[in-house]
Amino acid sequence: MQEEMKYLHENHTFELVKLFQCKRVLKNKWVFKLKLEDNCSQPRYNARLVVKGFN
């Protein structure tokens, strides 16, 4: 998780902005996945940040 956050920060994926009073913050959650490949003995971990409650 910390390694994934480091890469996101280094790539300037997120931008911190001021929240206006008439706007709401979207709820989110982290989704983790373990990827196993046939030719690789070391498993790869994948993390994604997704928005919750989208209708």
* Per-residue DSSP letter, 44: E
> What percent of the chain has a predicted confidence (pLDDT) above 70?
96
The pTM (predicted TM-score) of the whole model is 0.53
Are residues 30 and 39 in contact, defined by beta-carbon separation less than 8 angstroms?
no
Residue ranges of the domains in the chain? 1-51
Question: At 43, is the pLDDT very low, low, confident or very high (cuts 50, 70, 90)?
Answer: confident
Residue 53 parent element (H or E):
none
Predicted confidence (pLDDT) per residue in 8-18, tens digit: 889 998 888 89
Contact predicate 30/47, CB 8 Å:
yes
- Residue 32: pLDDT above 80? yes
